[in-house]
A and B are shown apart, each in its own frame.
Chain A
Amino acid sequence: MYAKLTFSMLVAGMHPGSGMTEQNDKISIASLSENKIQEISYDGQETYFKPFTLSESLTDLANRINFLNEDDNDCEDGEEEDPKGFHQAKQWPWRDIHSHLQRALIEMNVLVDVISITQNKPTTLKDSAAESSDANRYLMYDLAQKDSEPTKPMLQLITKKKCLAGAAKILLNGYERLNKAWTETSGQISFHSALLKLRKCWRVRRVGDKIMGDLSYRTAGSNFWHSGAFEVIKRSGDDTDEESSYGSALPSRLKSPISVEVSSDLLGYAEIFVSVINLDVHRDSLPDDVSECFSLNFHDLMQSSVLRVNQPPWHQKLVNAQNVLFCKEFFTRLTKEAIQLRCRSLYSPFVIVGDTISALVFPHTQLSVHLRYKQKPLLDEKTGNSNIKSLFSFKHTLLQLLQKDHSKQLNIPTPHPTSAVLGLTPEMRHASIQPWSSMQLDTTLKRDDDSLAEAMVKMAKHYEVRRRLAKVIKMILNEYSDPDIQAHWLTLSNQYESCVRMTMASFGYEACHRTVFQATAMADKVKFLHREGKIVFVEVDESCIYKYLVTLISGHQTLTLDKLARNMGWNVLQVTPRSGIDFNSSVINRGSLVASSPSFDSYVGIVCSTTYQGTVEYDVKVKYTKSPENKSTKTSKDPELLAMQFDKYMSIGGIWQKVNWQKIYGRNFINKVETLLTCLVNYD
């Protein structure tokens, strides 16, 4: 539009001038300067731009035309011819136009093609061939080719196979590489995590390029020579296969990336076996061992399979090794002490042969400590021996003592004031200025260092004494049913002392009298504490304890009789529970009671004597002061009561007569005596 307008204006501008001049009217027309002033000089002369020549102005105008914006096809077509002439004449300035036009042409052609295609679809091959031959066509309808002729299937298969194989190879390669990298990294991680786990339970440190651990109790205060070192080794893949024989019993997931190397003398299993053997009984038939296997071993724990499964194999190995170390240390220590110990209470000195320490604590009782050390677990052996009783106190006390000793090594009391001697307790420091006598010092020092060996001897003795006491009590209970005897073992006891509380009472006469006493089994004697506060120490010999208990029984009977006689209104003339002598030499104790009937016409004398055989014998005698006439009537009345021939003695009067004890009615001795007393009173 713009181009057209300018063109017409240009033509109109030309005409007025020429038209005016041809008419007669003289009109001077000075053309206005059509040209632009280039510059005005100082003298007022203006210099202009030279006006375009026709071709120049055409070029200029043509340059201003934007052909792409043109809507009109005709206009374009019309002008299409014009520039050609110019193009040939002057090539450079028309180049743009040329290219624009060419582009436009192409676009037009393409458009035309599109239109033609959309309008008429060629259906035949001929059409398409004709179209394809046309050079001016940019777009054409080309039918897609149908599948080509079938190739040979075998060849195809082979090539396919080859290609797949190649691809698979690449994939496999990649997989392998990834796998390797993964296992490497994962192995690394589990090694470190396992090491971390190990460090939670064991002391491990790095020495050079090795990882060393420490099994010893040194940090707890032990002074044992063995270093107890172990080495932690990272297990590579090859080792795992080799060691699988070792861990074959274990589930595969427990194959840890860590293996531990313990010095050869700590391998295996160890335990300390303490036994108190009764030698003379042993010789007969029934072995009466009192034994205690102990070690720091987690044998008890090991038996539970749950723990076993959850523990990594190295942990088990280290626990075993540490236990071996502990047992060795303990045994060495005990040996050292046993050599040094001059124990007055022992019947023979300690004998140390190989792995066994033994000593006689009583003439027929041997204490032996044995260090068992084997490569295989010791569990089967232990369970096999069924008549072993366990002594818990041994293990506990000895461990405690050892621990105490260890802690003493570590915890040295700080001197106060700071100038004081190091290692002395405040008590000891004050001892000098108190001042303490040598006896006080001795007792204090002794209390402080109670050696393991001494403690063990004491415990063994106590155990034996307790066993004997229990045995004797059982014997007494079996043999004597007359006074009911009850024994209560107190729970309050320690490793060196234990108590039994005993009560004696006659059946049916419990309210009458009751003998209560407490027997304490100590290390080398038995203490009897009676209700009245009397304390009797008895030797640990079984027969001694037995005799003493029998004496107590007879004493109990006498005292019960005393109470009974008083309750029944009899006059007790004399009562002696323990007089100790008798005419008969086989009697060791003689308790006696003499009582008279309320009216003083009959007397009863009862003797309860204990014999050397350990039996209680009763001897009951009766004396009458009444005239024999009355007596004879009595005898005829009740011939069973008094088996003696009254007539003969009654005439004499005042003679003690023996009562036929078997024939008197009664459930037990006291009951019989009651019957007797009742009869004698009734007699009046």
Chain B
Amino acid sequence: MGVTYVSQWNIPEGKNIQQGVEELQNKAEKLGAKKCGLFVVECESFHSTNAQNLKTLHTIHNSEYPASRFACFEDGSFLVTDVMLGTFLSKLRSVWQPKKGGKIESKGQRYEFGDFIIKIGIVSMGPSTKGIALELEYAPCRFPLDCWELMTEMLHELIDDQAPASLPQVIAQKPDANLAELTALQYIRLFNNLRKASMNR
């Protein structure tokens, strides 16, 4: 329930995804982070059947918010619902149809390091793995601008050269938004990027 930063971690040359994850986990453990269970973030995308209005709807399930589901439209509107969202959408099948290969998830180990929560996940689409997602959360703070310096410092420790230079665009655009929403939006962006990357490949 804190400020969260989500990004893709590029695997160093000559290593596969598993080795990359292990490297990152080692780094986190060396810092002193403690293993604290598993996490999963699932994303399922839907497209509208209306030909004129070709929009995409992403639904996110984050294990950090087990009672909630998030729905994000491409135009930026965002919805927080309870667990019945999936059933509800299946009833609206005539309007929203699941995209082919629309299911993508990030799964992995969750670490706690003082007030920080580090999540290192492998992004996979069905059977194929797409990359490594890193999530850093600073639990006590709710205002991204206030703790960004602290988080950057932490990120430098974790992923020294891949640390972001500035505030991510999603957070910068709406710094006052709900933190869960910001997390979900960052994940959607990450998943979209990974999807595109795999398409291009």
Contacts and interface: CB of A to CB of B under 8 A. Distances in A.
A and B interact physically: yes
Contact of A439 (B1, B69, B80, B178): B1
Interface in A376-434: 428-429, 431-434
A433 B67 CA distance: 8
B81 A438 contact: no
A441 B180 CA distance: 15
Of A428, A429, A435, A441, the most chain B CB neighbours within 10 A belong to A435
B66 interface: yes
Interface in B61-117: 63-70, 80-83
Contacts of B1: 436-437, 439-440
Interface string B1-18: 100000000000000000
Nearest to B70: A435
A433 B64 CA distance: 13
Nearest to A438: B66
Contacts of B64: 437-438
Nearest to B81: A433
B63 A438 contact: yes
Contact of A432 (B63, B68, B178): B68
A435 B63 contact: no
A130 to B, nearest CB: 137
Contact of B82 (A432, A437, A439, A441): A432
Nearest to A428: B67
Contacts of B82: 429, 432-433
B36 to A, nearest CB: 11
Contacts of B178: 435
B118 to A, nearest CB: 15
Contacts of A438: 63-66
Nearest to A440: B1
A226 B82 CA distance: 40
A436 B80 CA distance: 11
Contacts of B67: 428, 431-432, 435-436, 441
Contacts of B69: 432
Contacts of A433: 68, 80-82
Give the one of A428, A432, A434, A441 with max B CB within 10 A: A432
Interface centre among B63, B67, B68, B81 (most CB of A within 10 A): B67
Interface in B30-84: 63-70, 80-83
Q: Which of B63, B81, B82 has the most CB of A within 10 A?
A: B82
Contacts of A441: 66-67
Contacts of A436: 1, 65, 67-68
A441 B1 CA distance: 11
A4 B178 CA distance: 147
B83 A435 contact: no
Contacts of B83: 432
A372 B69 CA distance: 52
B61 to A, nearest CB: 11
Contacts of A434: 68, 80
A438 B178 CA distance: 16
A429 B82 CA distance: 8
Nearest to B37: A438
B23 to A, nearest CB: 28
Contacts of B66: 438, 441
A613 B69 CA distance: 60
B69 to A, nearest CB: 8
Interface string A431-466: 111111111110000000000000000000000000
B125 to A, nearest CB: 25
Interface in A255-297: none
A443 to B, nearest CB: 11
Contacts of B68: 431-436
Nearest to B1: A437
A431 B180 CA distance: 13
A438 B139 CA distance: 13
Nearest to B139: A439
Nearest to B178: A435
A438 B1 CA distance: 9
A428 B180 CA distance: 18
A517 to B, nearest CB: 29
Contacts of A440: 1
Nearest to B83: A432
Contacts of A432: 67-69, 80-83
A35 B66 CA distance: 144
Interface in A534-550: none
A437 B3 CA distance: 13
Nearest to B181: A435
Contacts of A429: 82
A415 B63 CA distance: 26
B54 to A, nearest CB: 28
A428 B67 CA distance: 9
A429 to B, nearest CB: 8
A429 B80 CA distance: 12
A424 to B, nearest CB: 10
Contacts of A437: 1, 64-65, 180
Nearest to B64: A437
A433 B84 CA distance: 12
Interface of A: 428-429, 431-441
19 contacts: A428-B67, A431-B68, A432-B68, A432-B81, A432-B83, A433-B81, A433-B82, A434-B68, A434-B80, A435-B65, A435-B68, A435-B80, A436-B67, A436-B68, A437-B1, A437-B180, A438-B64, A438-B66, A441-B66
What are the nearest 10 A-B pairs in CB distance?
Answer: A435-B68, A432-B82, A432-B67, A437-B1, A435-B65, A432-B68, A433-B80, A435-B180, A431-B67, A435-B80
Interface of B: 1, 63-70, 80-83, 178, 180
Given A431-B67, A432-B67, A435-B65, 15 more contacts: A428-B67, A432-B68, A432-B69, A432-B81, A432-B83, A434-B80, A435-B67, A435-B68, A435-B70, A435-B80, A435-B178, A435-B180, A436-B1, A437-B65, A437-B180
